[in-house]
Chain A
Amino acid sequence: AQSVTQLGSHVSVSEGALVLLRCNYSSSVPPFLFWYVQYPNQGLQLLLKYTSAATLVKGINGFEAEFKKSETSFHLTKPSAHMSDAAEYFCAVSQYGNKLVFGAGTILRVKS
Chain B
Amino acid sequence: DTGVSQDPRHKITKRGQNVTFRCDPISEHNRLYWYRQTLGQGPEFLTYFQNEAQLEKSRLLSDRFSAERPKGSFSTLEIQRTEQGDSAMYLCASSFYRDTDTQYFGPGTRLTVL
- Residues in A lying within 8 Å of B, measured CB to CB: 4, 9, 32, 36, 41-46, 49, 51, 90, 92, 94, 96-105
Inter-chain contact A98/B4, CB cutoff 8 Å: no
Nearest CB in chain A: distance from B13 CB, A: 18
- Residues in B lying within 8 Å of A, measured CB to CB: 4, 6, 31, 33, 35, 40-45, 48, 56, 58, 91, 93, 95, 100-108, 110
Inter-chain contact A41/B110, CB cutoff 8 Å: yes
Inter-chain contact A49/B43, CB cutoff 8 Å: no
A-B contacts, 21 listed (Cβ < 8 Å): A4-B42, A9-B40, A42-B107, A43-B4, A43-B105, A44-B93, A44-B105, A45-B105, A46-B103, A49-B101, A49-B102, A51-B101, A90-B43, A92-B42, A96-B101, A97-B101, A98-B100, A100-B33, A101-B45, A102-B42, A105-B40
Nearest CB in chain B: distance from A102 CB, A: 3
Inter-chain contact B42/A90, CB cutoff 8 Å: yes
List the B side residues contacting A94 at CB < 8 Å: 101
List the A side residues contacting B93 at CB < 8 Å: 44, 100
Inter-chain contact B43/A44, CB cutoff 8 Å: yes
Closest residue of B by beta carbon distance from A91: B42
Nearest CB in chain A: distance from B27 CB, A: 17
**Bound CA span A92–B41, Å:** 13
Q: Which of A4, A43, A98, A101 contacts B91 (CB 8 A)?
A: A43
**Bound CA span A41–B9, Å:** 10
List the A side residues contacting B95 at CB < 8 Å: 97
Nearest CB in chain B: distance from A52 CB, A: 11
Inter-chain contact B41/A46, CB cutoff 8 Å: no
Q: Which of A42, A98, A104 contacts B108 (CB 8 A)?
A: A42
